[in-house]
Structure 1
Amino acid sequence: MGSWATIAVHGPPSSEPPPESSLTPLGVASMLLLAAIHVAVMVAWLGLWTLGLKQLSARFDPQLWRRRIDAVGGAVLVVLGIRTAIQPR
């Protein structure tokens, strides 16, 4: 059983002729309606992402995270230095 992505990429089966209604004004209107719905859904989805990231960035303190990353990096360097110092040569 194929997925919707496969159907969307490959299109309809080539063994069947396209339906007669696909070239009528009603067929074109339904395709334009589907395109408009797709655009509306994508705008809503990207808008929600934008609002969510805006909320996260308001809580994000770059100085705090820089200090944390520097502390972890410094600790790693100290541990590596101690390990190197106590290794037999």
Structure 2
Amino acid sequence: MRRELIESYYEEYQRELERFLESDPEMFTLEAEIHHYIEILEPVLRDGGQEMWQTLDRIISAKNAMEGIVAKEMYIRGFLDYERLVCEKDSKI
């Protein structure tokens, strides 16, 4: 019973989808155009895609390294500022 219910929902969904596609012929044109561009871009992405991802990885790695350096520098400066404040306070006492 459960399987039959699921199958009937699936069949009804398929019919709705077919009716929608038949009612809008522009969908077929757009789908064909998308496939056309995919066929054009696929070799380019396959050949140059690896290089693009490697470059992107290098950029992200450099950014992360720079963030680490900046964080360390800010920590050191914060510690030095704290030390300066403590020393000033101690010298006034």
TM-score, normalised relative to structure 2: 0.42
Larger Rg: 2
Of Structure 1 and Structure 2, the greater helix share is in 2
TM-score, normalised relative to structure 1: 0.43
